[in-house]
Amino acid sequence: MLNVIVPLDFSQTSLNAAHYAANMFSGKPDVSVILYHYYSDDEDTTTARNYLNSLKQEFSTLLNHVEIELESGNNFIDSVAAFAHVKGAFMIVMGLTGKTPREQRFSGSNTLKLSEKEVCPVLIVPDDAVYNDISNALITTELKAVEETPTLLAVKRMLQLFKPSLHILNINSSHYIALTEDFKKERDKMEVILSEFNPEFYFMRLFDFHESVDVFARDKNIDLIIIAPRYHNFYERLFKTQHTKKLIYQSKVPVLTIHE
């Protein structure tokens, strides 16, 4: 059973992420969606439990397995990360952009911090995203030192679950007319590793990473962007500066972050 955890504070952002997850995993018999609520000591858990049970009943028309979990602790990030570890979570699904301070509790820094915990993949869902299908997936890569890794296995599990057309994008300002031999070598290795998905490779000679990804995603009707450290050293800086956060904060497409 693949456990998917959806943290909820009942804000519109977290509720949209929950509905996105329910539709995303609809019809997947081996997936269990866990609706997770972290509460403070002075919170009325009766109301929260009733709300979770109401959502569970609603989602049961889409999902084979739905669970609820209420948990308290000293820190939301540590608590949900520990819970994900115990459950051997396949994925955590969270919203990102909130319009009020309450929504920012889950939709802003906490989402990014959880992505850095290296517990399991985190799917970051824009607050206005509506699930239709995952027909086209995009992996960004620097095409350096390509090799089979645990991260790659996590990516493969995701691709095998949804079977999208796979697009692999390299953005490098040094590209000029023809690829260098080094790029060709790394491309060929990745093509072999991901051969079951018939990947298509693209090379863009642009200078602004997040704008390049955004343009590509719109042109190719991308439904999911995958970022993993072995595919992109950019990930190491992803949550460190305001500039590099643009890829996630401004993306209209859900972004799946996967650590080693």
Residue 109's pLDDT is: 72
Assign 230 a pLDDT band (cuts: 50, 70, 90): low
Mean pLDDT of 49-68: 96
Mean pLDDT of 235-259: 67
* Choice among 13-22, 164-173, 199-208, 241-250 with the minimum mean pLDDT: 241-250
Give DSSP secondary structure letters for 37-102: EEE-TTS-HHHHHHHHHHHHHHHTTT-SEEEEEEEE-S-HHHHHHHHHHHHT-SEEEEE---SSHH
* Choice among 5-14, 104-113, 146-155, 224-233 with the minimum mean pLDDT: 104-113
Higher pLDDT, 232 or 180: 180
Share of the chain above pLDDT 90, in %: 48
Residue 251's pLDDT is: 83
Give CA–CA dist 17/13, Å, rounded.
6
Residue 241's pLDDT is: 46
Please check the confidence at residue 233 and state whether its pLDDT lies above 70.
no
Residue 117's pLDDT is: 77
Mean pLDDT of 235-256: 66
Eight-state DSSP code of residue 176: B
Mean pLDDT of 92-114: 66
Please check the confidence at residue 247 and state whether its pLDDT lies above 80.
no
Tens of pLDDT, residues 167-218: 998 877 665 556 677 778 878 888 888 999 999 998 887 667 778 888 899 9
The topology (CATH level 3) of 136-257 is Rossmann fold (3.40.50)
Residue 258's pLDDT is: 84
CA distances from 93 to 115, 145, 183, 210 (A): 10, 30, 34, 22
Residue 113's pLDDT is: 81
Phi, psi of 19 (to 5 degrees): -65, -35
Domain 2-125, CATH among 1.10.238.10, 2.60.40.420, 3.40.50.620, 3.20.20.150 = 3.40.50.620
64, exposed or middle or buried, with CB in 10 Å at 0-12, 13-18, 19+? middle
Mean pLDDT of 21-46: 92
Tens of pLDDT, residues 89-102: 999 999 985 444 45
Residue 225's pLDDT is: 93
Start and end residues for every CATH 3.40.50.620 domain found in the chain: 2-125, 136-257
Please check the confidence at residue 53 and state whether its pLDDT lies above 90.
yes
Please check the confidence at residue 16 and state whether its pLDDT lies above 80.
yes
